Copies of this chain bind each other. A is one copy, B any other.
Amino acid sequence: MALIAFIGLGQMGSPMAANLIKQGHQLTVYDISPQAVEGLVSCGAKAAASPAQAAKGAEFVITMLPNGDLVQRVLFGENGVAETLSPRALVIDMSTIHPLQSDSLCREMQQRGFSYMDAPVGRTSEQAVTGTLLILAGGTAEQVARANDILMCMGSELVNCQGPGMGIRVKLINNYMSIALNALSAEAAVLCEALGLPFDVALQVMSGTPAGKGHFTTSWPNKVLKGDLSPAFMIDLAHKDLGIALDVANQLHVPMPLGAASREVYNQARAAGRGKQDWTAILEQVRICAGLSPKVKL
């Protein structure tokens, strides 16, 4: 049983806090909405008049807030957590915020002698209710170990993201990839419809290729990730196929801005002399455009 301050009782925070209470922890809660606070009080929590009051005497302080400026204010603002926090307590920010702001909050906490970790969550509000969230724990090995039992009251799976700030980073990467992929998938599906191809046929085929399974575990591991750019499928040919797809799409009036952008990425890769390399060399190409040092010899 732990003494926990929980700050931020929104659509996610409220059921998460309730699950902590159900597991026997003693909660003091704070939110700007009196109704949200009342909801938790009726579950057995104590209400606090400010973040500072909530944090007083707590072993863990959990924040679940809409953005980083609010986390900043809750920690360091007037009547903020930092005013009463014990140096032995662990602050766990479970909000989804800007990772570079999370880093700066972490530094500020350390400079003041406090312990701070990031642990944003995956999945949705349904899983928050059933306590089956995915917890992305960013912190030192010691912090993650210490927080583990608390966090597992709210989730069914915890990934140790291997260091401070890594929870919020993996959340960002995962969301970026899935949100942009959604738009790309829509382009493919609409081109499919415009071509009069039954979507289930396309699905059947794509389910066995990187189109459906992604590249991370299919085309990349034995090629670019191992430093082998000898071609299984050449960039020149991939570029040509993209050109045909865009040509068809433009004939059929299907706008494909992501497809058009990707063709120029391959175009630039060819300009850089990669035309005869494996298509997974695009990873190396994008790395170099980002100013990173080459990993694989050209």
Cβ–Cβ contact A263 & B242, under 8 A: no
Binds B, one of A43-51, A79-87, A143-151, A276-284: A276-284
Most chain B beta carbons < 10 A, residue from A134, A190, A194, A214? A214
- Expressed in whole angstroms, the Cα–Cα distance for A179 and B205 within the complex equals 15
Contact residues in B for A198 (Cβ distance below 8 Å):
162, 166
Oligomeric state, in number of copies?
4
Binary per-residue interface labels of chain A (279-294) against chain B in the complex, 1 for a CB within 8 Å, 0 otherwise: 1101101110111100
Q: Is A206 an interface residue (CB 8 A)?
A: yes
**Nearest Cβ on chain B to A71's Cβ, whole angstroms:** 14
Interface size on A, residues (CB 8 A): 107
Task: Tell me the interface secondary structure of chain A in the complex.
Answer: helix
Within the complex, the shortest CB–CB distance from A190 to chain B, in Å, comes to 5
CB-based nearest B residue for A207: B217
Q: Which residues of B contact A253 (CB under 8 A)?
A: 267-268, 270-271, 290-291
Give complex CA distance A170, B200 in Å: 10
**For the complex, what is the distance from the CA of A192 to the CA of B254, rounded to whole Å?**
28
Residues A184 and B258 in contact in the complex (CB < 8 Å), given A179-B241, A292-B194: yes
Residues of A participating in the B interface, judged by any CB pair closer than 8 Å: 96, 98-100, 122, 124, 134, 136, 157, 159, 161-162, 166, 169-170, 172-198, 201-217, 219-220, 232-233, 238-239, 241-245, 247-268, 270-273, 279-280, 282-283, 285-287, 289-292
